[in-house]
């Protein structure tokens, strides 16, 4: 049976007074000569938090903690936790921007995983978190450093960004401070960020991207590329909106950490109305 995950987050009042630690999975071995060798099992940090709820009102403890524990069936189910020292892609706690973190391509075409890097960005051997639980509505996306507002969707339960391609064939290009591209019944709207490739003649435009500034009609778009010094268009060419080979996708967001209960939920009645309790949580790497 797959581990259930509840998109609810443990309440802030229950987080107060907690202790936390983060660790990496490192396997050490020792030779007969006394030399010690270490192997990093994977590049992902694992958060652990221990909660000591002393002198807590009994009803509040039951509602905020016990209910969640039973909903998860103890260690079985997962849920969201905001780590107050690390919840933003921008400098741990600052307001996210669309260029904060490089995304990793997945095995599925046009799908990218949101990531929080702690080492060299873009190198999957470096320390990083796969952001499986970004906060709903906070995700931002850029291609080649330009923030885009359309052409993608974010799954806030997995942290995956899926791009939807708008493609068309180029039939002509008119040079200028802005560039008019001729097509056949194009699908584009103002604000789309298009990639140009395969043009014969005006080769300087290949590999460039431009934002659609206006749509004069169904066969023409005007983009913000200054092509006034380019050579003349001869033939061919393709427009795409999805990230192309060699382009960098970046993202920014607030995020939660997916966690589960590590062990039993312990409690102790101080009197009829006050209870003390403790429990521990551990990060789930693949919820």
* CATH class as words, domain 168-240: mainly beta
Q: Using alpha carbons, list the distances in angstroms from residue 126 to 42, 54, 121, 122.
A: 9, 39, 8, 8
Residue 59: what pLDDT? Answer: 60
Q: Is the pLDDT of residue 58 over 60?
A: no
Contacts of 253 (CB under 8 A, 6+ apart): 88, 89, 96, 114, 131, 134, 135, 138, 139, 140
> Measured between alpha carbons, how far is residue 255 from residues 16, 129, 147, 281 in Å?
19, 11, 19, 17
What is the rounded distance in angstroms from the CA atom of residue 1 to the CA atom of residue 124?
30
Each domain of the chain, given as residue ranges in start order, spans 5-86+256-283, 101-164, 168-240
Residue in the structure block whose two tokens are 């591209």? 181
The model carries a pTM of: 0.92
Instruction: For 207-224, write each residue's pLDDT tens digit.
Output: 999 999 999 999 999 999
- The answer, yes or no, to whether residue 27 has pLDDT greater than 60, is yes
Nearest to 250 by CA among 97, 99, 88: 99
Do strands 5-9 and 78-81 pair parallel, antiparallel, or not at all (unpaired)? parallel
């Amino acid at each position: 049976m797959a581990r259930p995950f509840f998109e609810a987050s443990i309440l802030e009042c229950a987080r107060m007074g907690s202790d936390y630690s983060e660790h990496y999975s490192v396997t050490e071995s020792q030779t007969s000569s006394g030399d010690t060798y270490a192997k990093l099992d994977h590049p992902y940090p694992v958060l652990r938090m221990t909660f000591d709820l002393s002198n807590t009102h009994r009803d509040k403890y039951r509602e905020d903690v016990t209910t969640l524990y039973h909903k998860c069936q103890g260690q079985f189910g997962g849920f969201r936790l905001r780590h107050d020292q690390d919840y933003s892609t921008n400098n741990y706690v600052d307001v996210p921007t669309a260029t904060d973190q490089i995304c990793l391509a997945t095995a599925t075409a046009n799908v990218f995983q949101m990531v929080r890097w702690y080492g060299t960005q873009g190198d999957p051997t470096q320390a990083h978190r796969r952001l499986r639980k970004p906060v709903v509505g906070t995700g931002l996306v850029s291609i080649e450093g330009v923030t885009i507002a359309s052409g993608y969707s974010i799954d806030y339960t997995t942290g995956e960004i899926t791009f939807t391609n708008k493609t068309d064939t180029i039939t002509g290009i008119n040079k200028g401070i802005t560039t008019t591209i001729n097509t056949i019944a194009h699908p584009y709207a103002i604000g789309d960020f298009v990639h140009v490739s395969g043009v014969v003649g005006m080769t300087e435009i290949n590999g460039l991207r431009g934002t659609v500034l206006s749509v004069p009609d169904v066969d023409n778009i005007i983009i913000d590329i200054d092509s006034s010094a380019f050579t003349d268009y001869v033939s061919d060419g393709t427009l795409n909106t999805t990230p192309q080979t060699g382009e960098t996708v970046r993202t920014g967001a607030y995020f939660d950490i997916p966690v589960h209960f590590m062990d039993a939920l312990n409690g102790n009645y101080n009197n009829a109305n006050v209870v003390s309790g403790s429990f521990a949580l551990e990060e789930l790497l693949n919820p």
